[in-house]
Structure 1
Amino acid sequence: MPHLDGSLFFPTISTINCGSHTVLNFYNTIKTDKEVLSSEKVYSLLLERRSLLILKDRMYTEYLHGIEEITNDIIDDKISNIRFCESIKQNRISLTRNKRISLTIRNVPKVSKLNLNSLVLKK
């Protein structure tokens, strides 16, 4: 489901994409004061194996993002970063998704601090 990560996290996240590729979609939202009426896909990024994605500023705070639950991706010129992808040599190819692990790094500035000096380690 397309979503925002919320204001708890500082508006910069880093994700290391391991295993399979995926396609991350970004959506504009049409909303009222109380609910989201619809969302419109505006960007898609191919996250290649062993790639790093950094989202910040408006891409983090204003656009919903999500990954569709599909097993094959058609990689074509609708992918915004296609010309920068090393592994794609031709247009309109189909890539099959496999197991993917993502490591997402977020700064959470509003957490309580653990006093490590009060911990006593015993042998």
Structure 2
Amino acid sequence: MALIQRLHMTQYGTTLEQIGKIAMAQRENALNNPQALLREPMSLQDYLNSRMISDPIRLFDCVMPCSGAECVILASEEKAKQITDKLVYLVTDAERSHYQVANMLPDKTTFGMKVVGERIFPEVKHEEI
């Protein structure tokens, strides 16, 4: 992954500061979750000073080992109203499975999520995300 991230930085001019903002946003979201494992604020300086794992990947770019699960339950509006008063409406969906090994991809910086994003985002208003 470090080689792919470095290639992305070279091709698109992505900076460590921009990548650090991703880790900072994830940490900021964790502050709102009482069950989050990491609940301390993180500054850009914290990110940039974190231990290098494999240049340019730093400690806060890595997934913390933990056990967890997630689930999405789809139900009719009628059934959902019997369960909760906080309904969420599905606006669009897409899925992309990616079976190619990274070194076989024609563009090493583009994975399946790019294809999904190009399909989904034009269908949704910003405030619906």
TM range (shorter): under 0.3
- Alignment TM-score, normalising by the size of structure 1: 0.19
Greater strand proportion: 1
Give the helix-richer structure, 1 or 2: 2
